[in-house]
Amino acid sequence: NTYQIAVIAGDGIGPEVMEQALRVLNAAERQDNFRLECKEFSWNSEYYLKHGRMMPEDGMERLKSFDAILFGAIGDARVPDEVTIWELIMPIRKQFRQYVNFRPVKSLPGIPSPLANGDHIDFVIFRENAEGEYSDSGGRLYAGQEGEIAVQNTIMTRAGVERIARAAGSYAEKHGLKKVTSATKSNAVIHANKLWDEHVSRVMAEEFGGLEFEQYYVDALAAYFVQRPQSFEVVLASNLFGDILSDLGSGIVGGLGLSPSGNINPEKDYPSMFEPVHGSAPDIAGKGIANPIAQIWSAALMLEHLGEHKAAKRILEAIEAVLTEGAVRTKDIGGDATTAQMGEAILLAMKKK
Ligand code: NAI
Ligand code: MG
């Protein structure tokens, strides 16, 4: 099999961690007998400063025919964050209907969790990625006056709720998981979250009768993430709740340098995009000390999505082997290895598999 991959490394540590992910992908191709034709796009803040835009006018058109997009991170002090995010990442997520934001939350060997009990944590979050609380519907009135107000609308559609619930249920079934947990706040947010509850529970009952389904108010669920994270398998949440829960999830298993994500279009009518949860980390950019694991794991999620399960598994096992061995660690996880040394160690571990 041959796949066309668009690579957007971005800014700051983006290109540093991407270099290691591409080395790992290259080794995986040779070991598992598939081909990746990677095309790099230098659409980043430098490009913006030169051309006044984050991507060329036909940028989306050029990305459309790829099988997947591997993204690094974007963000530079010389360009406002709204510009980098809304002109590059958002159009890709929205126009390519990547309505699932998929985030694994998994304990890794040798990485201390800030939680008191050392239980093994392994669940995934399905965050709705296209509608919900993150909308530009609303406005502000009476600016500067005593009675100043802002209205920010949440948009939940039946179709939007059904499809994310279906994506979570299908994932659970396909991976032999037994339980889906939905986050809500329908006791207070009575219109949008009631619609969420009704259609999530209906889809689960009608289409996924074999799965256990539970629902919690998101505030209580946040506490359970800390108290009994090992009890979750698939967590389903709206855009805002999912955003917060997934960073909480990243926090309980060891931090940003280790957290991958996928922006997935389940219908596969447009490419999906895989990226680490972290940003361009300007505080450590250029020093060669960023942890490449989040990027490498994101590349593994991409292979999983493309159907190269064996290669994806091999990469994750190599990451785990290196962390178990423990000698090579970047600074964020308590060592002094460089980005390249970390990448090298994972490559070596893959060859032993
Ligand atoms: P950040 O994720 O870039 O950094 C937060 C902290 O985590 C920093 O101390 C950083 O050094 C550390 N860190 C992040 N990734 C790491 C890694 N792989 N290895 C070791 N340490 C790591 O978030 P921050 O500082 O809030 O934002 C910086 C820039 O990144 C901003 O311009 C922001 O807009 C952008 N950003 C972009 C995202 C994206 O491309 N999807 C996501 C989040 C932020
Ligand atoms: Mg977030």
SS3 readout for 232-293? CCEEEECHHHHHHHHHHHHHHCCCHHHCEEEEECCCCCCCEEEEECCCCCCCCCCCCCCCCH
% of the chain beyond a pLDDT of 90? 93
User: Which residue's alpha carbon is nearest to atom 1 within ligand 1?
Assistant: 279
pLDDT of the residue at 114:
81
Domains 1-98+270-353 and 113-253 share a fold: yes
The fold of 1-98+270-353 is Isopropylmalate Dehydrogenase (3.40.718)
Residues with CB under 6 A from ligand 1: 13, 17, 73-75, 81, 89, 256-257, 275, 278-284, 290-291, 294, 332
Per-residue pLDDT, 353? 72
Give me the chain's average pLDDT, please.
96
190-243 pLDDT per residue, tens = 999 999 999 999 999 999 999 999 999 999 999 999 999 999 999 999 999 999
Report yes or no: 126 and 168 within 8 Å, Cβ to Cβ.
Answer: yes
Contact 325, 331 (CB under 8 A): no
Cα separations in angstroms, 236 against 94, 215, 301? 19, 9, 19
Amino acid 3: pLDDT: 98
Dump pLDDT digits (tens) for 77-125. 999 998 999 899 989 998 999 999 999 999 999 887 888 777 789 999 9
Q: Which of 218, 230, 247 is nearest to 115 (CA)?
A: 230
What confidence category does residue 58 fall into, taking pLDDT thresholds of 50, 70 and 90?
very high
**Token digits for 344?**
């090298």
- pTM, two decimal places: 0.94
ipTM of the complex: 0.98
What distance in Å separates the CA atoms of residue 178 and residue 214, rounded to the nearest whole number? 11
Distance CA(275)–CA(134), nearest Å, equals: 20
Residue nearest to atom 40 of ligand 1 (CA): 73
CATH class of 113-253: alpha beta
Domain segments of the chain: what residues?
Answer: 1-98+270-353, 113-253
Q: Tell me which residue has its CA closest to atom 12 in ligand 1.
A: 281
Q: Residue 113's pLDDT is what? A: 80
